[in-house]
Structure 1
């Protein structure tokens, strides 16, 4: 049985999709500092509560964060913090190497209009 070149890449694509929103990256980077409640994240990041909650649900579904109840609140923390820090480091190195090319990409760059 032969395998298509993309076999096994769907999970990687899903993982990187989890990083495709600047708010999710900001939340992950802030959780690297320690556990936080939604109210803490909204205050620190200047994001709406609904935005933070939506992105935390996505990150939790992806297995990147965990939640635990503390009284009436829920506290969120990173899963696999060391691996995530390694990924940030590799991403920063790659961004240094590519310079502005990634932001100028006609499909995903910063000047691309987002539909919807």
Structure 2
């Protein structure tokens, strides 16, 4: 992608646009507070849905829907063991992305939280599970 100096717009080839679409999908998959909490928890190691319910304080249906979304996006995988499924992150690079995001947030302070479009109201984060599980 290249920046057009005249109007400040990004321009690029179809391939670059496709890569941008994939990046948008990745960040959208992490944009829900419940999904992000699940990913952060799985960064510490695998867990079952029942573990996530207890640790995150979310309803079973919420956790199941969000885990399914993350699985469909290729970010989480399940390892069946008997009647249980242990979920884990599929790629260690996701941990690098989370660390980079935390570094960026620390460097910018509350700038993102104050964004009028995507920021949080009064600096508070939306309650997990209040957004749709998967669009």
Under a length normalisation based on structure 2, what TM-score does the superposition of the two structures give?
0.75
- Please state whether the residue corresponding to 2:77 is helix, strand or coil: strand
Shift of 1:3: 2.2
The alpha carbon displacement at 1:70 in A equals: 1.3
Q: Number of aligned residue pairs: give it.
A: 114
Structure 2, unmatched stretches of 5+, are 1-11
1:48 to 49, 59, 63: 59
Bigger Rg, structure 1 or 2: 2
Where relative contact order (Cα < 8 A, 6+ residues apart) is larger, the structure is 2
In 2, the alpha carbon distance for the partners of 1:33 and 1:101 equals 28
Q: State the TM-score, normalizing by the size of structure 1.
A: 0.87
CA-to-partner distance for each residue in 1:55-105, whole Å, 9 max, x for gaps? 101100111100122111211111112x11211111111112221110111
Q: Quick check: which one's helix share is greater? A: 1
Matched, 1:32 2:66: no
In the alignment, which of 94, 97, 107 is matched to residue 107 of structure 2? 97
Please give the root-mean-square deviation of Cα atoms over the aligned residues, in Å.
Answer: 2.5
